[in-house]
Structure 1
Amino acid sequence: MRRTGRGAGAIVALLVAGGLLGGCVASGVSEEPDEGAAAAAGGRDGTFGRDWSIKPEAPAGEKAAKPTPVPVVTAPPAPVSTPDTAPAPAPTPAETGTGWLWEDPVRITLPDFEDKDLGDVRAALEALGADDIKTVDATGDGRSPWVDSNWKVCSQDPRKGREVDASDRITLAVVKDGERCP
């Protein structure tokens, strides 16, 4: 005959349940309803389930002290002040004619950048608001500047004195310092 161990499991479960009940009695948990706590809670009976609540019990031989009712004070809600006139909402871009779809483009006039240091030229263009600056190798070798201060501007497109949108592409033909412009 084979044993399944179910009897041992049932015994362990009974021992655990007995230990829990014994701990509750030793710690002062009572199954008696507590009307005083229900009254102090303003009608809420504070029970867990239907017929019991947690309350301290006096040690054996001593008389339990009556709980002292605690008055519950509620303040009236604070008055909410509302201004007589609400502030006007901020206008939307559609109302003002501003916003990225409605803004007039920023216009800049290009100075003469020929024979100037590429780093200085790029800083000047960015300060003017230009945001599409392209460099090309003026010799046609396809080199790209890694350090702008080592290159100089040979020509620019659009030419000097032209007024362009800041978002228009500005192309600078450059050579390394010490090289001649073609």
Structure 2
Amino acid sequence: MDQLGEAAKTASDDKPTADAPKKATVPDFVGMGLQSAQDKAQGAGLHGLTSHDALGRERMQAFDRNWKVRSQTMEAGAFKPTDTDLDFGALKLREDCPAKNEKPPTAEGGKVPNFASESVKAARSALDSGVSLTVKDALPDDRWVLVESNWKVCTQEPAAGTSLNGQPVTLKAVKFEESCP
């Protein structure tokens, strides 16, 4: 190959191709408000954004300004393709950060999980959609459990570890700020 051909090959090798993903340095979002973190991520070119409840209660982050970032799936300072998904572990502004993200319970091995202190919503999500589930107020007030992510399980029937054989499950719960009787 002549010198001109070699120079042309080198110059074209240094240029990014049109189909090469763009990359960005990932900022540190921990401690930021969720909406601010999302805005900053988008400003950096990151657009595959999701978030989850860091307390494992399966709450939706409907009003992002009411949530703060506890964790992020991409390490701060990493140089990543901008099409990489970034997930924020978030909690309400007034809540203390847990030592680690909490995971909702799962019904592994066909056994009833221990739902004690879990949100009713997380308990419902752990069970197969065909399981009959009844949720009752554990206090004598007989209140309706409308927003299940705001209620924690006090007792359950059948007990944790029981095989799931299609039997109904009953939970008694109180609001998270209340004590179980």
TM band (smaller chain): 0.3 to 0.5
Return the index of the structure with the highest Cα Rg: 1
What's the TM-score once normalised by structure 2's chain length?
A: 0.44
- TM-score, L = length of structure 1: 0.43
